[in-house]
């Protein structure tokens, strides 16, 4: 999943000249956070919002916390890169295109 986000979003940022080589590790964090959201959601779907604790009590599925933290990180980084709707106007010419990943840039 992180690779798909990398390919789809990075090419648009490169075309818009809104990302530099030294920012790639931060962008990798954005891609990882996006993937983590989906992974946590899959765990929530599989096990539910509540799980049975060691002593038999119902407790919140830890995947919900992981998902919440990943959403917050993704939102913050999306703003940094102009990917969020609120910040998109900062990145003129931004369009997403999976097929135009820059050569030599791979996750």
- Please tell me the distance from the alpha carbon of residue 5 to that of residue 13, in angstroms, as a whole number: 12
Among 7, 13, 9, which Cα is nearest to 106's?
7
Identify whether the C-beta of residue 77 lies closer than 8 Å to the C-beta of residue 33: yes
pLDDT digits (tens, 9 = 90+) for 2-37: 788 787 788 888 888 888 889 999 999 999 999 999
pLDDT category at 91 given cuts 50, 70, 90 is low
pTM comes to: 0.72
Query: Does position 105 have pLDDT exceeding 80, yes or no?
Result: no
- Please tell me the distance from the alpha carbon of residue 86 to that of residue 100, in angstroms, as a whole number: 24
Identify whether the C-beta of residue 32 lies closer than 8 Å to the C-beta of residue 54: no
Paired tokens of 80: 């940094």
């Amino acid at each position: 999943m992180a690779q798909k986000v990398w390919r789809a979003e990075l090419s648009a940022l490169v075309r818009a000249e809104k990302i530099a080589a030294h920012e790639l590790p931060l962008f990798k964090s954005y891609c990882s956070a996006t993937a983590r959201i989906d992974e946590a959601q899959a765990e929530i779907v599989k096990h539910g919002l509540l799980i049975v604790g060691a002593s038999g009590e119902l407790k919140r599925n830890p995947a919900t916390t992981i998902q919440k933290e990943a959403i917050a990180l993704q939102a913050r980084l999306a703003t940094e890169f102009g990917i969020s709707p609120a910040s998109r106007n900062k990145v003129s010419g931004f369009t997403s295109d999976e097929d135009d990943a820059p050569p030599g840039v791979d996750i």
